[in-house]
Amino acid sequence: MITKRGQLKDHINFVLAVKDRLWPNIKIEEFLVVYVDTRNSPPNFKSKFIDSDMVTNEPIILGFEGTAHTAGIAIVKGKNIIINKSATYLPTQGGIHPREASEFLSKHFPKLLEQIFHELPFDTQRIDAIAFSQGPGLGPCLRITATIARAISLLIKRPLIGVNHCIAHVELGRMVTPAQDPLVLYVSGGNTQLITYLNGRYRILGETLDVAIGNALDSLGRKIGLPHPGGVHIEQKAKSGQQLLHLPYAIKGMSFSFSGVVTAAYKLISEYSVSDICFSFQEYTYAALAEATERALSCTKKSSLLLTGGVAANMRLQEMMQGVASEQSVKFFVVPKDLAGDNGAMIALAGVNMYKANDFIDVKNSQVIPRWRTDQVEVSWIH
Amino acid sequence: MIRQKDRIAKGAEAIIYRGSFLQTPIILKHRLPKIYRLPQIDKTIRLQRLRAEARIMVLAWKIGAHVPVLLGIDFANRTLLMEEIQGELLFFIMNTAPLTKMKSIFKDIGQEVGLLHKNDITHGDLTVFNVVINKENKPWLIDFGLGQVSVEREKKADDLLTFYSTLKAISPDFQDLFDLFKHGYFGMYKKGRKTFEHMKKIQSRARYIAREDRLE
């Protein structure tokens, strides 16, 4: 919600910047009321979209993802991802700075939108709704995303859908893999949760008690001198690790904690090689995740396991989860590598489900929710 | 002598076999190696859990808590021999048994846990899967692999929180049942209220809890 005068001014300037870039011929006064004919810029039929797909009744959703470091925009129709574009902010030093991340988003969203509308194989008026990541995430980033989503919504007169980022990861997994009613292990830079569906809500069975696994990997990477993002580089280094060093194995029931493991691993840097530390860190933290997952599987008696989120791209974690699934004889699914991290497509796909359940919000009530827990969302689309 | 047909359950950690020892029915709990962990990690964890479980079971039995009697330990095979409790897991009867029956059971569970906590024993994994209800509708606690002897309020509060969150994920009447559990717990353990306050504090530490809801 806009509370300060300065913030309001920033928002207006941002909306106007978007307008100037996309529709420079429209007068400001007419901006929110006129119908804009984007056919002025001829569409470019480079994408894989086939016109026969238009025959089906599936809704077309434009999705905006911007909770932290990724600016992502996607257009989907039903389960088909038509266009999916994103830009990722890479901090030159240290971790993600909220202000710099939001500046990055405000710079890149207009560029991405321009590309999307150029490549769009049909008219913008065929879009049925706008979905955006309403939370959880970094406040400044969420506000940028929400602002642009509201502007586009008012401009093309289509309803808004506020999507929970964590649930979008789950919905993506449910739509691009054959997993039906799975137990979900959602591992990313901001969250680590064991999620399952029960009675109209996604319930959290276990979650991290301090930092997320991706965050732990990043901060360990920074401390031992590896570049950002830490997870990728740690995975590479771990391949040459030989010696298993002793680290804490932190699991509490079905919840886990990683910050102590980071500190313990960092303390070993003077005596042992980086690759041994990376190897041991992965083995201990992923083993804790695997054990919690196995516990949750045996409790819930679900028949499939879904791995989603940015860290799902890690091959060692996938291997361990495959092991867990075969121990408990359940099917194992993992999201494709290119959709594992934050992207616009997951927001749009979750938007498709919410569109079918008429789960819309007014622009008036579309304020961002930076601390939106997965179990606070009423799931209207699963019956 | 273990036969495959005596295998009665497979949990996340162990396989349970039924057997007999001096004409009494017993349970063999065999902790399996996990293929997904590195063997070195796996070995230490299984040994730690086995030792913890044996120690806690003996201590809890000494104070008169409702836990199975430990009959033997086979360190080489990571196996525990214990008395068999004739009954059903709480999880399986929760959604079928009438609510009135459940209410008295939950009060009794509260008393059991209160008794353990009063003697500084924590369960470590207090879920509805680790409570057996016998024929007289009395609860028995099992599976002490993550148990500890500890005076820390944090660890005791953890037990309550684990119980609360699994209950919440399983039963629609979780609030009523947990209130009864609390009633039994406070009755047995005088410092229980402080533990409960601490549980709320731990709960508020989770991610994305609104600032105004945080207790510090």
Q: DSSP string of A137-179?
A: S-HHHHHHHHHHHHHHHHHHT--EEEEEHHHHHHHHHHHHS--
Nearest CA-CA distance, residue B169 and chain A, Å: 6
Nearest CA-CA distance, residue B30 and chain A, Å: 15
Cα separation, A4 vs A6, in Å, equals 5
Nearest CB to A372; choose among B36, B205, B208: B208
Nearest CA in chain A to B170: A198
Beta strand A60-65 with B7-10 is unpaired
**Cα separation of the two ends of chain A:** 32
Nearest CB to A207; choose among B91, B125, B206: B206
Asked whether the beta carbons of residue A373 and residue B207 sit closer than 8 angstroms, the reply is: yes
Q: Is the Cα dihedral A175, A176, A178, A183 positive or negative?
A: negative
Closest CA to A230 of A238, A243, A239, A221: A221
Asked whether the beta carbons of residue A207 and residue B207 sit closer than 8 angstroms, the reply is: yes
Chain B interface includes A218 (CB < 8 A): no
Asked whether the beta carbons of residue B12 and residue A328 sit closer than 8 angstroms, the reply is: yes
Q: Which residues of B have a catalytic role annotated?
A: 125
Nearest CB to B158; choose among A198, A252, A284: A252
Please report the pLDDT score of residue B127 as a whole number.
87
B4-83 belongs to which homologous superfamily? Phosphorylase Kinase; domain 1 (3.30.200.20)
Window 105-134 of B, Cβ < 8 Å to A: 124-127, 129
Beta strand B148-149 with B121-122 is antiparallel
Cα separation, A355 vs A340, in Å, equals 23
Tens-binned pLDDT, residue by residue, of chain A (383 aa): 455 555 656 666 777 777 777 777 766 655 543 333 333 333 433 334 444 455 568 899 999 999 999 999 999 999 999 999 999 998 888 888 999 999 999 999 999 999 999 988 888 889 999 999 998 999 999 999 999 999 999 999 999 999 999 999 999 999 999 998 999 999 999 899 999 998 888 988 888 988 999 999 999 999 999 988 889 999 999 999 989 999 999 888 788 899 999 999 999 999 999 999 999 999 999 999 999 999 899 888 899 999 999 999 999 999 999 999 999 999 999 999 999 999 999 999 999 999 999 999 999 999 999 999 998 899 999 87
Cite the residue boundaries of each domain of chain B with CATH code 1.10.510.10: 87-203
Chain B interface includes A315 (CB < 8 A): no
**Which of B175, B208, B212, B213 should one mutate to test binding to chain A, selecting the residue with the greatest count of A CBs within 10 A?**
B208
Asked whether the beta carbons of residue B37 and residue A319 sit closer than 8 angstroms, the reply is: no
Asked whether the beta carbons of residue A249 and residue B41 sit closer than 8 angstroms, the reply is: yes
Spans of chain B, pLDDT less than 50: none
| ipTM field | 0.84
Please report the pLDDT score of residue A42 as a whole number.
37
B87-203 belongs to which homologous superfamily? Transferase(Phosphotransferase) domain 1 (1.10.510.10)
Asked whether the beta carbons of residue B209 and residue A199 sit closer than 8 angstroms, the reply is: no
Beta strand A255-256 with A251-252 is antiparallel
Please report the pLDDT score of residue A35 as a whole number.
34
All structural domains of chain A: 5-169+341-376 (3.30.420.40), 180-334 (3.30.420.40)
Cite the residue boundaries of each domain of chain B with CATH code 3.30.200.20: 4-83
3-state SS, residue A296: helix
Please report the pLDDT score of residue B2 as a whole number.
58
Closest CA to A131 of A189, A66, A212: A66
